[in-house]
Amino acid sequence: MSLHLLKNKFHASTFGLTVLVLFTLLFYLIFHTENFSVEQRIKFAENYVKNWQLEKAENILEPAVEGKNYNGKFINLYLDVLIKEGKINKAKTFFLNLKRNRINDNPNLLSQAAQIYFFNGVPDSADIFARKAIASAKKRNNKQVESKANNIIGLVKFYLAQYDSAVVYQERALRLAKDFHYQKEEADALRQIGVISWYNGKLDSALNYFYLPALKLYRESNDKIGEAITLNDIGLLYFDKKNWYKEYPYHLQAYKIQKQINDFIGLADTYYFLSYVPNFNRTIHDYKYKLLTKSYNISSKIGYKWGKLIAAKKIINFVFNNSSIDASLPVNVNAIDDNTGEGRLISKVLTLRRSQKEKNYKEMISTGKKILQISDSLGYAVYKYWSYYYIGSALANIGKLNDAEEYILKSKELTYDKNGRKYNPINIGLLLSRIYKKQKKVYKAINLLSKKAMEYDSIYLKNINRPHTIYNYESAVVAVYRQRSTIYSLLLDDLYDVNKPDEFFKYSERQRLLPFWGKYNDDDLKGEISFSNLLIKFQNADAINNNDTSVFQAINKLEKVIESKNNEGNNFSKIPGYISHIKNKSLSEIQKGLNDKDVFVEYTFGEKNIYAFIIRKDKKKLLLLNSTKEDVTRLIDFFREALLRGKDKPDDKLWIGPARNLYNLLVKPIVDSGLLKKGNNLIISPHNSLYLLPFNALITGDENSFLLFDYNISYVSSSQSINKNRILKLNSYLGVAPATKDLNYSQDEIINIPESLFKVKKQLLNSSATK
């Protein structure tokens, strides 16, 4: 055997021996830990805690707990591990089994007891133990525990909604921590003062003066729990600014930290915060419900009362408002004793939302006013916006329009930050416009809506200028387009009411310049490109407790999609036909482009009404049609379904009735006006559900009198698409109709194309069409 091979064999043997020794040592550690002394367990656990391996720390300490073989240092360390993990019930049981002489005058243990009772929802006991901890800490000159205990009293005051007192104790904790350079305690106090600032509606102050400095300190001191809590707090600020795509990444970052370190209180909170996601579709409703129930179940199991309370209230509200999905209340969810200061406020908010859904306007007004009173007494601003808005809405519905306007304007004041940026204007603008119209201030409503129309044109353009991911369709294109459509519908109704046909036509055309580029319903979206499906992938991966890798992979995909929204540019000049750079053709220019036989009809949907704007070479007229968009849309759906029946039942005549009714509603009024005559070139610009209507197949008289036989019909998206070289002037056409089962009537369609349209007409039928 060569020297080289012997050398390799020696190294292989040495490596194998090393592995065997390590395996034997690991086997010993696993199966013989009961032989460790308390001091050894403490040493191992301290190292685990330092590296945030909390579960391992608990496991190494557990055997000594079972044998009640421990000292004071062990007790403090074991409780610290359980509190960090959020296992409050377990920590409380251990604490209650301690002998009294171990507890008295031990500042660390007293402050830990205060934490346990605070998380367990027993504020009086938490306050008592915290004050004992302060007294004991002062005797021993332990400024760190003194700061920590003041922080706990501040948390108790916050729990009871005594916010002024809460600030006093947090400021005491902060002074002590800063004077003696305790980073964690300084960060704890800063963060909680920031929470109170947020509750007072001072969002920017909370972020810049408290949360960001606290986050920096937490990271410098390697406090993972504090870092995750602060990330969640920052996310909630963006939620209040209605900027959810900035909010959500903070909650995902917090989740990753809490999942890695086994922080159950943090996870219970974060599951709750992750439910703050827009309702893209029904899939998201299910996603939100599962998150809320997970938050509730974890909180219940570990003994975290605050988490249990907020999740329970949200679930009750969620189930009430989403009766169409498979959601039910967890057992005993209604029986929770709410002893928080916010409890009565949140209960009133739930009542307000219920009364709004039930259209109980009297209750909406009285409940909203009670919420404002409680909020003022607590110094709590979070629910004021919706209270003002709901009161204003209720007053408008019962005809008290001046009072309604006053309350809506108050809610509007709360939608601006210190720099004047708006973050939830749309519902206010729409409600105000309706109030102005009822007050006979139609021109004021028109002025407001025209500004909103321009604003939402820009918002829509901003979103469709980004890469066409499904996320952008869900969060922006669909939602913004619908809001934009509502604005234009209200505006067009108002312009018709004040008899401004030229302005009406201008905004009808403007609306058409930006078509809908997306899907109205994404329930059937498949694959990872769907943001909704990414959320579901995250949720499914999270359900597998021991597979953190797949969870974090799902989160990384979510974060990349959201980050792309923040990093995309806003260079509108790249968009063909950018609305601000388009000079629309005037009515007179459009009329010059028409022939003597041309009749252009532009259909437009208002909020409820349907309009037809008719333009001929020498005439124009705006008609209000005698139907609503809901009725016409239902009739179109029925008509299309009836046509499809003919595929299997050629003799079925169910379609004739709706075909005739649609003609009477949409076309006959134009004929009766004298602006449309047989033989005319009918150029149709549909809108909304009318895009789904085959006008050619409408019946003008008996069942064989199709609209197609009376007019040369063509379609355009808007009048801007009309030009003198339209397809109507082509001289020839080629028709192809192969003999296949799937195209039974294609030959009839080709044969019945009017001769008058073309000078040369060539048809390829049957076998001629397959060569």
The answer, yes or no, to whether residue 620 has pLDDT greater than 80, is yes
pLDDT for 22: 47
CATH number at residue 195: 1.25.40.10
Q: Which of 255-259, 395-399, 510-514, 532-536 has the lowest mean pLDDT?
A: 532-536
Let me know whether 749 and 665 are in one domain: no
Does the structure show a pLDDT above 90 at 478?
no
Lowest mean pLDDT among 284-298, 421-435, 469-483, 591-605: 469-483
Question: How far apart are alpha carbons 762 and 751 in whole angstroms?
Answer: 10
Distance CA 67, CA 235 (A): 44
pLDDT (mean) for 735-746? 74
pLDDT of residue 522: 41
The answer to whether residue 379 scores a pLDDT higher than 70 is: yes
Nearest-angstrom CA–CA distance, 273 and 20: 48
- Given a cut of 70, whether residue 729 has pLDDT beyond it is no
Which pLDDT score, from 0 to 100, does residue 569 have?
A: 43
Measure the CA–CA gap between 181 and 148, rounded to whole angstroms.
13
Q: Are 740 and 715 members of one domain?
A: no
More confident residue, 673 or 581: 673
pLDDT tens figures, 343-371? 778 788 888 888 988 899 999 999 999 99
Q: DSSP string of 144-191? A: HHHHHHHHHHHHHHHHTT-HHHHHHHHHHHHHHHHHTT-HHHHHHHHH
pLDDT value of residue 1:
38
Q: With CA atoms as reference, report the closest residue to 613 among 718, 690, 696, 692.
A: 718
pLDDT digits (tens, 9 = 90+) for 76-110: 999 999 999 999 999 999 999 887 766 777 899 99
Q: What is the pLDDT of residue 644?
A: 86
Q: Is the C-alpha dihedral spanning 446, 449, 451, 457 positive or negative?
A: negative
Same domain, 652 and 747: no
Domain assignment present for residue 539? The answer is: no
What whole-number distance in Å separates Cα of residue 89 and Cα of residue 293? 19
Whether 520 shows a pLDDT value over 50: the answer reads no
What single-letter amino acid sits at 457?
D
User: Are residues 422 and 415 in contact, defined by beta-carbon separation less than 8 angstroms?
Assistant: yes
Highest average pLDDT, of 6-20, 535-549, 754-768, comes from 754-768
Which tokens go with 715?
Answer: 């379609």
* Residues 246, 248, 249, 255, Cα dihedral to 10°: 150
235 — pLDDT class (breaks 50, 70, 90): very high
* Counted domains in the chain: 4
Per-residue pLDDT at 537:
73
Pick 215 or 6 by higher pLDDT: 215
> Beta-carbon neighbour count of residue 692 at 10 Å?
12
Q: What's the count of helices (H) and strands (E) in the chain, helices before strands?
A: 35, 7
Asked if 645 and 771 sit in the same domain, the reply is: no
What pLDDT score does 623 carry?
A: 97
Whether 562 shows a pLDDT value over 80: the answer reads no
Residue 532 lies in a domain: no
757 and 647 in a single domain? The answer is no
Give the mean model confidence (pLDDT) for residues 169-182: 97
Residue 599 confidence (pLDDT): 96
Query: What letter represents residue 600's amino acid?
Result: F
> Which of 175-179, 566-570, 682-686, 737-741 is predicted with the least confidence, judged by mean pLDDT?
566-570
Judged against a pLDDT cut of 50, whether residue 11 lies above it is answered with no
**Number of neighbours of residue 140 by Cβ within 10 angstroms:** 13
Dihedral of alpha carbons 204, 205, 209, 210, sign: negative
Whether residues 710 and 764 fall in one domain: no
CB 196 within 8 A of CB 165: no
Report if residue 750 sits inside a domain.
yes
Residue 133 above 60 pLDDT? Answer: yes
Higher pLDDT, 592 or 758: 592
Q: What is the model's pLDDT at position 32?
A: 46
User: Whole-number mean pLDDT of the chain?
Assistant: 82
Q: Determine the distance from the C-alpha atom of residue 604 to the mean position of all C-alpha atoms in its chain, rounded to a whole number.
A: 30
Residues 255-261: what's their mean pLDDT?
Answer: 94
Hey, what are 49's tokens?
A: 């805690």
Co-location of 698 and 767 in the same domain: no
Query: How far, in Å, CA of 471 to CA of 477, rounded?
Result: 9
Would you place residue 197 in the very low, low, confident or very high pLDDT band (cuts 50, 70, 90)? very high
Residue 244 lies inside a defined structural domain of this protein:
yes
Q: Is the pLDDT of residue 425 over 70?
A: no
- Whether the pLDDT of residue 577 is over 70: the answer is no
Q: What is the DSSP string of 374-410?
A: HHHHHT--TTHHHHHHHHHHHHHHTT-HHHHHHHHHH
Please say which residue of 257, 274, 291 terminates a domain.
274
698 and 749 belong to one structural domain:
no
The answer to whether residue 101 sits within a structural domain is no
Do 487 and 454 contact (CB within 8 A), yes or no?
no
3-class DSSP assignment, residue 622: strand
| Angstrom distance (rounded) from CA 390 to CA 401 | 13
**pLDDT at 280 > cutoff 50:** yes
The residue with greater pLDDT, 475 or 385, is 385
Q: Would you say 716 and 728 are in contact if contact means Cβ atoms under 8 Å apart?
A: no
> What is the predicted pLDDT for the residue at 702?
79
Q: Among candidates 114, 118, 42, which has minimal Cα distance to 81?
A: 42
Confidence at residue 282, expressed as pLDDT on a 0 to 100 scale = 67
**Cα–Cα distance measured from residue 678 to residue 570, given in angstroms and rounded to the nearest whole number:** 49
621 and 699 inside one domain:
yes
CB atoms within 10 A of CB 477: 21
278-292, 420-434, 461-475, 606-620: least confidently modelled range? 461-475
- Residue 585 is predicted with a pLDDT of 78
**pLDDT at residue 198 tops 60:** yes
| Position 652 in a domain | yes
With respect to residue 691, please indicate whether it lies within any of the assigned structural domains: yes
Judgement on whether residues 643 and 694 belong to the same structural domain of the protein:
yes
For the chain, give the number of residues: 771
Residue 701's pLDDT band (cuts 50, 70, 90):
confident
The predicted structure's pLDDT at residue 238: 87
| 526-552 confidence digits (pLDDT tens) | 433 456 666 777 777 776 655 567 777
Q: 263 φ, ψ to 5°? A: -95, 100
Per-residue confidence (pLDDT) for residue 463, from 0 to 100? 65
Contacts 24+ apart (CB under 8 A), 192-196: 192/151, 192/154, 192/155, 192/158, 192/166, 193/167, 194/233, 195/158, 195/233, 196/158, 196/163, 196/166, 196/167, 196/170
The pLDDT of residue 473 is 40
Please tell me the distance from the alpha carbon of residue 601 to that of residue 590, in angstroms, as a whole number.
12
Domain boundary pick from 241, 274, 307: 274
User: What mean pLDDT do residues 252-263 have?
Assistant: 94
Closest alpha carbon to 226 in 180, 192, 249:
192
Domain termination residue (choose one: 211, 244, 274) = 274
* Paired tokens of 758: 């073309």
Instruction: Please give the Cα distance from 109 to 133 (Å, whole number).
Output: 8
C-alpha to C-alpha distances, 39 to 43, 48, 56, 468, nearest whole angstrom: 6, 14, 16, 60
CA–CA separation, 176 and 172 (whole Å): 6
Task: Record the tokens describing residue 168, joined without a space.
Answer: 């006093």
Do 713 and 739 lie in one domain? The reply is: no
Q: Which region, left, alpha or beta, applies to residue 68 given φ > 0 means left and ψ of -120 to 50 means alpha?
A: left
Structural domain span for residue 251: 182-274
Share of the chain above pLDDT 90, in %: 51
For residues 645 and 743, membership in a common domain is answered with: no
Q: For residue 422, tell me if it sits in a domain.
A: no
pLDDT at 60: 94
Position 724 scores a pLDDT of 53
